[in-house]
Structure 1
Amino acid sequence: MAKDAKPAEEGAVAPKKSKKLLIIILAAVLVVVLGGGGAAFMLLKKGDHTEDDEEAAEETVKTKKKDKKKDAHALPVFVNLDPFTVNLVPETGDQYLQVALSLEIEDAQSEPVLKAQMPKIRNNITLLLSAKKASELLPKEGKEHLAEALKDEINSVFEPPKKNKKGELVMPEGPVKSVLFTSFIIQ
């Protein structure tokens, strides 16, 4: 009987080892599957972020447009430029224009960007002013057209104008919202 008991014990031990081995194998397979699934999830989620980034960029553009409308009630920010003195295109002898400008900008954060480009802005303004005739600038409408042309000229320093499908130039929206004359003398 003792001999019969030993094989029974060995048989009983063998199933325990196979169960442990089966559990270890299943645990290893489970770890591999979960690891692969986690990696696949991270890769797929990473691909979704690019789509989310595009959507977020579109939402940011929409938000900026809404913020501009909200900022309409905010206090305006002005940058004063040094006065300009230029010769006008001669009509009845030498004529001069002396003008001082204030620029209304979107926000205070645009001011350092504007000042960094100031030499180019001053050059473009001088060229634009010196190409005008006194008779063009004397009426109120002439001054209003000049203010609009100056605004477009300054904004084009930051973003060049583009042509639309019809071939017309479309002036960019830049940091300058309007140009105001603080002094305007024609002599």
Structure 2
Amino acid sequence: MAKDAKPAAEGAEAPKKSKKLLIIILAVVLVVVLAGGGAAFMLMKKGDHAEDDEEAAEETVKSKKKDKKKDAHAAPVFVNLDPFTVNLIPETGDQYLQVVLSLELDEAIAEPLLKAQMPKIRNNITLLLSAKKASELLPKEGKEHLAEGLKDEINSVIEPPKKNKKGELIMPEGPVKSVLFTSFIIQ
């Protein structure tokens, strides 16, 4: 029996030692895995910031190239407006202006914005045109000045001007690149 008791005692010590050894090995493996995971996370996080900076720089360069290509190869977008007929400020009796406009837009997506604001745009154009004299509009420079005024008026309806810190109005660029006269009659 003594012999039987001895092996049983050795068998009990072996599982205790192996359990302790197993716990120590698992703890070391867990620490190594956590340290490796933390290191990998930090490296990937730093890599993401570097990649984000590189991607942002590449996107800026690509967008500039696209804008240049777009300007060079994109077909212009034109929107035709209905004719305007207004009374001019009288100089030598009643005078009328009948004008048909086409608007050149910088991009096609601006057309729905323009159409959504059309009643207000037509109102502002009518008010601007009716405040002119025939003598102002007859020379080429008068027509060019009118086209610029119309462009600014339309752009201010779509993107209202903002005030800077000094209280001065800053006119937005707006989607309208130019105003073109397709018909211009003064009677």
Give the Å deviation of 1:173.
1.0
On the 8 A contact 2:113/2:158 being kept in 1, the answer is no
Q: In structure 1, the residue corresponding to 2:180 is in which secondary structure?
A: strand
Give the Å deviation of 1:62.
7.1
Partner of 2:9: 7
Partner of 1:116: 116
The whole-number CA distance in structure 1 between the counterparts of 2:99 and 2:155 is 19
Give the Å deviation of 1:164.
4.8
Deviates more, 1:134-143 or 1:159-168: 159-168
The whole-number CA distance in structure 2 between the counterparts of 1:60 and 1:87 is 51
Partner of 1:151: 151
Q: In structure 2, the residue corresponding to 1:86 is in which secondary structure?
A: strand
Partner of 1:138: 138
Partner of 2:103: 103
Give the Å deviation of 1:133.
1.1
1:105-161 per-residue CA deviation (whole Å, 9 max, x = no partner) reads: 112222222112111111111111111111111110000000001011111112122
Partner of 2:69: 70
Deviates more, 1:62-71 or 1:100-109: 62-71
Partner of 2:18: 16
Q: In structure 2, the residue corresponding to 1:173 is in which secondary structure?
A: coil
Tell me the amino acid that sits aligned with residue 72 of structure 1. D
TM norm structure 1: 0.76
The whole-number CA distance in structure 2 between the counterparts of 1:63 and 1:86 is 47
The whole-number CA distance in structure 2 between the counterparts of 1:185 and 1:136 is 14
Tell me the amino acid that sits aligned with residue 81 of structure 1. L
Partner of 1:179: 179
Deviates more, 1:16-25 or 1:130-139: 16-25
Any unmatched runs of 5+ in structure 2?
Answer: none
Aligned residues: 178
Any unmatched runs of 5+ in structure 1?
Answer: none
Tell me the amino acid that sits aligned with residue 91 of structure 2. E
TM norm structure 2: 0.76
Partner of 2:127: 127
CA RMSD of aligned residues (A): 3.4
- Compared with structure 1, are the counterparts of its residues 4 and 19 closer, same or farther at alpha carbon in structure 2 (3 Å cutoff)? same
On the 8 A contact 2:76/2:105 being kept in 1, the answer is yes
Post-superposition, which runs of at least 4 consecutive aligned residues in structure 1 deviate over 6 A? Answer: 58-62
- Compared with structure 1, are the counterparts of its residues 64 and 179 closer, same or farther at alpha carbon in structure 2 (3 Å cutoff)? farther
1:61-115 per-residue CA deviation (whole Å, 9 max, x = no partner) reads: 7765554433222221111100000111122221111000000111222222211
Deviates more, 1:115-124 or 1:145-154: 115-124
Q: In structure 2, the residue corresponding to 1:144 is in which secondary structure?
A: helix
The whole-number CA distance in structure 2 between the counterparts of 1:95 and 1:61 is 53
On the 8 A contact 2:155/2:174 being kept in 1, the answer is yes
